[in-house]
Amino acid sequence: MTGTGIGLDRHLLGLKDISDSEIVSILDRAAYWEQQPEKVHRTLAGNFVANMFFENSTRTRFSFEVAEKRLGAEVLNFTAAVSSVQKGESIYDTVRTLESMGIDAGVIRLKPIGVLPELAAKIRVPLINAGDGNNEHPTQALLDLYTMRKHFGSVRGLTVSIIGDILHSRVARSNLWGLTKLGAKVQFCAPPNMRAPELDAPYVSIDEALKADVVMMLRVQLERHTTGLISSAEEYRAQYGLTEERAAKLAPHAIIMHPAPVNRNVEIDDALVEHEKSRIFTQMANGVPIRMAVVERALR
């Protein structure tokens, strides 16, 4: 393994190991990009960015692609299902191949845990984590922080309840680390078999979780379950879903968030997805300026 010469301040592997000031800097830069009236800029003209998705994605991949094109970058899209990965090529060899062809940065989404730091140590271009296993999803958490800051004016002092499949959620992990660095209180609510005891946040009942300023629902990630963790969708909704009856108990100022994709009528009722308290599609919109800030940071 060789050193890359790429500073940690150009990679974005997670929020656990970056400072609160760096997070605020990204949020501020996203606010700058959101305010720009022109849709396309030439800030990154002449730079090639590869979106390397070894795991399926809709919102994250397209959000990155829109962000990169708005910055004027040349964009390459890689999907494992139609690549030499299907012939047995390793993740490292695939990334190394694209690096050899002259890309300037890579956005990468992986299912295996722990591979991304190894790649970052070997690859000579900055890498941006677009989701690695159940470890981190930093740009999702950044857009969540950005959405909260825009709505409340500040993240500091907020109580944020994250409800659902904490065990398999990289969103929960990145949000926990990002929110606490900016002065918010994070609490989890989950069935006993979907908890992650290694994470430093209290677990509360569903009734207590509903008292928060922000109620963030998580998708039940059935694709990551190796054994049946829920008896039925109906039973899960009854015990941990954000139903219309439960939403009626939220504080007047509270907002509903969800990283999507949404399992309607499982973790959240269909009528609440576009409810006046919901910021789900606002989160998706905010993903573009956040990713513009992150990609620009990688190539500065």
Per-residue pLDDT at 228 exceeds 60: no
Confidence class for position 222, pLDDT limits 50, 70, 90:
low
> What digits encode the pLDDT tens for the residues 137-166?
999 999 999 999 999 999 999 999 999 999
| Rounded average pLDDT over 26-31 | 98
The pLDDT score that the predictor gives to residue 1 is: 36
Q: Could you tell me which residues are annotated as the binding site for carbamoyl phosphate? A: 59-60, 109, 137, 140, 260-261
Task: Give 270-283 pLDDT, tens digit per residue.
Answer: 999 999 999 999 99
Give the sign of the dihedral formed by CA 102, CA 104, CA 110, CA 113.
Answer: positive
Residue 201 binned pLDDT confidence (cut-offs 50, 70, 90) = very high
Which amino acids are annotated as binding site for L-aspartate, given as ranges? 87, 170, 219
**Tens of pLDDT, residues 2-15:** 445 566 678 999 99
DSSP 207-240: HHHTTSSEEEE----GGG-SS---S-HHHHHHHH
pTM: 0.94
Is 293:30 a contact under the CB 8 Å cutoff?
yes
Across-strand partners of 264?
268
Output the six-digit token pair for 125.
């271009």
Residue 100, number of CB atoms within 10 A of its CB:
9
Rg of the chain (C-alpha set): 19
Q: Which has more confidence, 198 or 56?
A: 198
- pLDDT score at 202: 98
Residues 77-92 pLDDT 10s: 988 776 677 777 899 9
Q: Could you tell me which residues are beta bridge partners of residue 278?
A: 256
What mean pLDDT comes out for the span 178-185?
98
82-85's contacts with Cβ under 8 Å and 24+ in sequence apart are 85/54
CB 134 within 8 A of CB 176: no
Q: Confidence band (pLDDT; 50, 70, 90) for 105?
A: very high
The candidate with the shortest Cα–Cα distance to 47, out of 104, 127, 125, is 104
Task: Name which of 111-125, 162-176, 195-209, 218-232 the model is least confident about.
Answer: 218-232
Q: How far apart are CA 81 and CA 106, in angstroms?
A: 18
The number of beta carbons lying within 10 Å of the beta carbon of residue 171 is 28
Please determine, for residue 42, whether its predicted confidence score (pLDDT) is greater than 60: yes
The share of the chain scoring above pLDDT 70, in percent, equals 93
The mean pLDDT of the chain is 93
Residue set of the binding site: 59-60, 87, 109, 137, 140, 170, 219, 260-261
